[in-house]
Structure 1
């Protein structure tokens, strides 16, 4: 079978590999699509601390069950499924107290073990969620990042008609805006430096601020009468965002760290004190929230499909990171189409 393998910093290869042996309680999935995540970009750059070459990339995948070995008869051959990709130890404090998604040694398929940018992948039956027949494969391929947004909405305690600012218009930022829109936000302001991504945001009906041209804090103050927004979703992981997020949040408001900050950044903690703001983290999602994303995807399927801007065939997937880097391409969410037909 064809696979996309990370073989070293700045190097990926489409390789032929035999399918892994199917173990008791596992299913073999014929992969339809697998999304490219920011963590995949970090792996490709050689900057992910856990990913080791050679590694089949990909944790945002959906497909159809082709074979089952044992199991509970909950699924059948032909079912379309989305696998929950988190791997928890089951023994640490987080796992013992019911929050295994923040396991001390949390691992993911496609980062710590071979992943889903492949024709086939084996998964334990108990991590699978069945997809509704009416949900397109293209929309279903965005379920995993959608689960990230459901988690961050819960962490932020978002309330209907709240005003919100989203810092960062990457896939996670745009998806945050989509969920906010459908959850009843009264105002959604998204900031970034990428003009094409901000245009996509305007097409969704969001207010946009290009921070290269306009000061975000000044814009928010002007639009809210100096009050600030109810909730800030920091999706960029950047130092300037960390420094400004408390300024644009109102007194008594909430700031949710949706994006991961790879290194320490300065935060105005005096604002947090004097404005009695709540600063909360958010990391991946619970298994229940992943299941909620599977259900919710059907309600916003049209928007999810619009997030996907590019699809690359698996046989050409060794070019996918060059595509993402190309400023002329204006990528947002990129999928790899893994439905390769063996004609040799």
Structure 2
């Protein structure tokens, strides 16, 4: 079968690879679409600490059940996606109800071969059926949407909260879309990419290019110098870390959604004097993932606009060149695994 294989730093190849073998408790899934994640970009660059070549990429997928064991709750022809986290079951978080932050958390497509392939055998207990009426392309967004569901839960978001989203990458845009559909009173989103900010304006967000506009001044003006209820930091950049407390009101919440790969300065005196709450958000629970699948239907019109390109698996070795080309204005790229 064909698969997109990470072959080493800055090198991927579409290869003919052996089809994976059947195993007990697993279902054979014919892959339809698989999304490209920021973590895949990190793998491609050679900077991911766990991913080792050769590795089939991909963990944001939708497929069709092709073979299911007797007594399975899934039938041949069911459209499915899967919770891709792999927990050890033995560490403190795993034994105390939070296996999604396992101390040795692994992930499909990072620690084991992933889903950018013709087929994959997937453990039945992590599969989630996709309801009828949700398109296959839309279903490939279930995993990143689950990340966003988690971050709203972690931030304790409430209807009519005023929010800033820092960073208009796929997770930032999805965060803002979910805020819109959850009743946020005000959504300010920042970035430096004019193409992504133009898309954000289509959604009705207050989109700010921080190359041209001081975000702190903009937020102060928009909130009568109060600040917003919640800041979702989705950019992972150093300058954002120093700004988060300035954007947040007294008693407000800062949710660190983007991963900062190095220590960055934060104004901790603001955190004290303004009695702010800062909380981290990493991935998602199994329940949040499962709940995100039917949620796709409620936001379909907006979510479909996030899918900027679809590339056939046979040409997917070009996918990272597409990401690096600013003229293509990529947001979320899907791989058509049957093309």
Please, what TM-score do these two structures have when normalized by structure 1? 0.98
Counterpart in the other structure of 1:161? 160
**Distance in 1 between residues matched to 2:59 and 2:131, nearest whole Å:** 20
User: Matches of 1:253 and 1:222 in 2, distance apart?
Assistant: 17
Aligned length: 339
Residues 251-295 of structure 1 deviation map (CA, whole Å, 9 limit, x = unaligned): 000000011111111000001000000000001000000011012
Query: Within 1, Cα distance between the matches of 2:337 and 2:93?
Result: 35
Distance 1:260 1:165 in 2: 17
> Which residue of structure 2 lines up, in the alignment, with residue 289 of structure 1?
288
Give 1:320's aligned residue: 319
Shift of 1:35: 0.3
CA distance in 2, matches of 1:336, 1:79: 20
**Which residue number corresponds to residue 196 of structure 2?**
197
How far apart, in 2, do the equivalents of 1:307 and 1:126 lie?
A: 29
Alignment match, 1:20: 20
Report the alpha carbon displacement of residue 301 of structure 1 after superposing the two structures with TM.
1.6
Q: For 2:75 and 2:221, how far apart are their aligned partners in 1?
A: 56
Structure 2 match to 1:36? 36
CA distance in 1, matches of 2:303, 2:67: 29
Is the 8 Å Cα contact of residues 25 and 68 (structure 1) preserved in structure 2? no
Q: Hey, what does 1:57 align to over in structure 2?
A: 57
- Matching of residue 145 in structure 1 with residue 151 in structure 2: no
Q: Which residue in the other structure is 1:170 paired with?
A: 169
Instruction: Report the secondary structure of 1:328's partner residue.
Output: helix
Inter-partner Cα distance in structure 1 for 2:294 and 2:132: 12
**Where does residue 80 of structure 2 map in the other structure?**
81
| Secondary structure class of the residue paired with 1:22 | coil
- Which consecutive unaligned segments of at least 5 residues does structure 1 have? none
With normalisation by structure 2, the TM-score equals: 0.99
Q: Matched residues in 2 for 1:252 and 1:112: separation? A: 40
Gaps of 5+ in 2: none
Q: Does 1:277 align with 2:276?
A: yes
Runs of 4 or more, structure 1, over 3 Å off, are: none
Is the contact made by 1:22 and 1:69 (CA closer than 8 Å) also made in structure 2?
Answer: no
Distance 1:314 1:69 in 2: 28
Q: Give, in angstroms, the shift of residue 73 of structure 1.
A: 2.2
Across the aligned residues of Structure 1 and Structure 2, the Cα RMSD in angstroms comes to 0.7
Find the aligned partners of 1:107 and 1:73 in 2 and give their Cα distance.
25
Aligned ranges 1:171-190 → 2 under 5 Å: 171-190=170-189
Deviates more, 1:21-30 or 1:88-97: 21-30
For 2:245, the equivalent position in structure 1 comes to: 246
CA distance in 1, matches of 2:87, 2:300: 30
Mapped to 2, the partners of 1:75 and 1:336 lie a distance apart of 24
Aligned to 1:330: 329
